[in-house]
């Protein structure tokens, strides 16, 4: 996923269908310099991860 699209999704009030390793996730924050995002699985909101934007897929 590119940086601009990830940023749009994280700022949008509309929930986008994004997955990480096949798991539906929510994007909390995008770090443009590191090309990463802070995410959590929708069913595990207490388990935050920082992942590469390349590993995120929008369906």
Tell me the mean pLDDT in the region 1-13: 96
Q: What is the pLDDT of residue 14?
A: 93
Task: For the chain, give the secondary structure using H, E and C.
Answer: CCHHHHHHHHHCCCCCCEEECCEEEEEEEEECCCCEEEEEECCEEEEEEEEEHHHEEEC
Q: What is the pLDDT of residues 10-45, one digit of tens each?
A: 999 999 999 999 999 999 999 999 999 999 999 999
pLDDT value of residue 19 = 98
The tokens of 39 are what? 């995410």
State the average pLDDT over residues 1-12: 97
- pTM for the complete prediction? 0.92
pLDDT for 29 equals 97
């Amino acid at each position: 996923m590119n940086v601009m699209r990830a940023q749009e999704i994280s700022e949008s009030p509309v929930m986008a269908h994004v997955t990480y390793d096949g798991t539906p996730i929510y994007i909390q924050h995008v770090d443009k310099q590191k090309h990463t995002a802070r995410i959590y699985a929708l069913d595990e909101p207490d388990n935050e991860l920082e992942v590469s934007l390349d590993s995120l897929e929008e369906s």
